[in-house]
Every structure is written in C-alpha cells, then in structure tokens.
C-alpha cells in the first residue's frame, strides 16, 4: 500500500496519468482494474480515471509492494556542469542562452552534459528542485534548439508554468526572432516567403518545394535584410510557422544557404571563413499573450534578447567576407 500527497506540481493531472508517472512498474490494465475495484482511492473515496487531482489531495493505492520497489534512480543530471548563460530568471522559469554545440536533451551518445541536465543540476544546487519530493515532475524545457544552433531556450521550474507556456507556444503567442547569415543577396529587402516542407523519411533532414507534396506542410518565413556585403547577407527571421530546419532548408532552397551549413549547403561555399556550423541564432523572445496567462500574466509584452551574437558582430565589423 502506498500514499501520495498531491503537491502543486502534481495538481491538475488525471489520476491515471499521475499514477503512470509515479508508479512506472504498474501495468496499465491493472491500473484501470484497480480503479474499478476501488483499490485506488482519492481522499478515501472512489475515483475515476479522468478525475483531476488537486493540491492537498491524498491518493491511496492498495496494491502489492512489488509495484513500488523501484530502486532510487541515479541523479544523472549531477554529472553535468552547472555552467549556464542565464538571461532571465524568476520563481517560475529560466531563459537560457544556449551555445552552439550543446544538445538540449540526451542523444544517442548518452552523454550527461545536456542543457536540461545543466538546468536541473543548477536548480538542485539552489534547493529549488528536490527530486525526492516530486512524484511526477522535473524542471523541463518548453522549446528546443538544434545542437549547432544557439539561442534562447525556456525552462519551466514548475508544472503550472510548463502547462501554460506549452499552450502559449502551441497557440503561437510567443514570438522568436532569429539572426542568420546567408550566402548571396535577396532581391527584396524584406518579405514573407511561402513554400512546402516535407520530412525526408527517417533522416534528420527536410526538403522544400514550391508546390504541395504528399506529407508536405506549408511554411511561411518572414525576413528582413539588416546588412549586405556582396557575398553574404545578415538577416533577421520571424518564423510564422515553426517547422523542422525551416530557416536552413528554406533559404537553401532559394539558393541562399546559411553560412557554415553543410547539411543544406556545401562546404566549398564556406571556404575562407571560420564557420563550421550554421550561422543561426534565436536571439530575441517576445511574450505576446492574446488570452489569459494565469500566473504568468506579468510576462505579457516583455522582450528578452541575447546582447551579443558573435557572427552578427563579425559581419558588422567586416570579418565575414
């Protein structure tokens, strides 16, 4: 038998979703059977699968101990360093400037040095993340950026913040602006580009076309030119649709691949430069809530930006030619 006192990070979840996270050894069929047979009770009474938990609730599971005999997991995040470039922090979230080369989540290499592990280690050291007191939540990222792209990543410190921001991002109420350096010059100084993007099977790659294709999705890429030097252009991009590799693939399709991008461009085009990965940075974030944002309403209208993006400074100082 096991009791769970529901805390703020657990609240709002369905009973079955919470138990799946808190008791991972319990098979789903037995979970649902136990609810039907009243072996799982909420505040001493029968509950339903879809019942929503509230802070302060007491969930009792009258089940064999074998389902709870999970060894204490190693805190993998403690193996990661705590070095972070924090642009903003409060009791609900962190805005972190992720540098190129750092993965946001663990990849096939299994290395513990990821952005989320760094953040969890940092919060653990501050006493703001105590895994032994959490049943179903850990600080999490609300957005992600490719390994070799830099920029602003949002991390939620609590479950209500994660829930609200995930919905706001889905509703496109957060604006992310990117800086990039592309080969060549565009005919128009600004505009909105439209095309169709398709993922290339299981490859970590996409293709772009002018006409719809099976499985293709519309992409809209808004841009404006900030500076030009003949060989390259420095641009600002506003993704009106957020698809995988959209900026890289879209501009390469137009004949203007990003400086340093060898996935959608060609290494020979980057000769004479020191760029070994794409000159792309998610440098600015604007909160543009259209509806209520609950406890995060104070963020509405605020803008956060990375103060120094090296390739933009290199461009303006004449170091990219």
Q: Which residues are tagged catalytic? A: 146
40-42 vs 190-199, strand pairing mode? unpaired
In a 13 Å sphere around the CA of 236, the CA atoms on its Cβ side amount to 11
Pick the closest to residue 252 from 240, 268, 244, 263 (CA basis): 263
User: Residue 78, SS3?
Assistant: helix
Structure-token pair, residue 58: 């007491």
CA distance 299 to 143: 17
Return left, alpha or beta for 160; rule: phi > 0 is left, psi -120 to 50 is alpha, else beta: alpha
CA distance 234 to 206: 23
Pick the closest to residue 165 from 157, 118, 102 (CA basis): 157
Q: What is the chain's Cα-based Rg?
A: 23
CB within 8 Å of 33: residues ≥ 6 apart: none
Name residue 285's beta-bridge partners.
Answer: 176, 304
Pick the closest to residue 153 from 226, 223, 215, 98 (CA basis): 98
CA distance 259 to 106: 27
How far CA 12 is from CA of 15, 16, 23, 130, 166, in Å, comes to 9, 12, 18, 20, 15
CA distance 116 to 112: 9
């Amino acid at each position: 038998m096991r009791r769970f006192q529901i805390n703020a990070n657990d609240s709002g979840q369905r009973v079955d979703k919470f138990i799946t996270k808190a008791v991972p050894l319990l098979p789903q069929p037995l979970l649902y059977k136990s609810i039907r047979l009243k072996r799982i009770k909420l505040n001493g009474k029968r509950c339903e699968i879809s019942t929503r938990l509230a802070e302060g609730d007491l969930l009792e599971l009258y089940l064999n101990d074998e389902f709870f005999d999970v060894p204490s997991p190693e805190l993998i995040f403690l193996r990661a360093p705590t070095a972070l470039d924090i642009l903003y922090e409060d009791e609900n979230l962190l805005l972190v400037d992720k540098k190129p080369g750092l993965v946001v989540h663990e990849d096939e290499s299994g290395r513990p040095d990821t952005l989320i592990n760094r953040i969890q280690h940092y919060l653990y050291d501050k006493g703001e993340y105590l895994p032994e007191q959490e049943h179903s939540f850990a600080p999490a990222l609300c957005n992600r950026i490719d390994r070799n792209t830099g920029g602003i990543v949002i991390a939620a410190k609590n479950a209500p913040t994660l829930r609200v921001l995930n919905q706001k991002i889905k509703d496109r109420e957060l604006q992310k602006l990117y800086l990039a350096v592309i080969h060549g010059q565009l005919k128009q100084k600004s505009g909105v580009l439209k095309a169709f993007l398709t993922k290339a099977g299981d490859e970590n790659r996409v293709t772009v076309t002018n006409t719809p294709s099976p499985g293709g999705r519309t992409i809209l890429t808004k841009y404006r030119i900030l500076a030009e030097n003949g060989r390259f252009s420095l641009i600002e991009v506003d993704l009106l649709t957020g698809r995988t590799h959209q900026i890289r693939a879209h501009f390469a399709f137009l004949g203007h691949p990003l400086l340093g991008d060898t996935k959608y461009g060609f290494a020979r085009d980057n000769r004479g430069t020191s760029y070994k990965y794409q000159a792309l940075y998610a440098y600015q974030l604007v909160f543009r809530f259209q509806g209520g944002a609950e406890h995060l309403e104070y963020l509405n209208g605020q803008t956060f930006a990375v103060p120094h993006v090296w390739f933009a400074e290199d461009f303006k100082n004449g170091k990219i030619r």
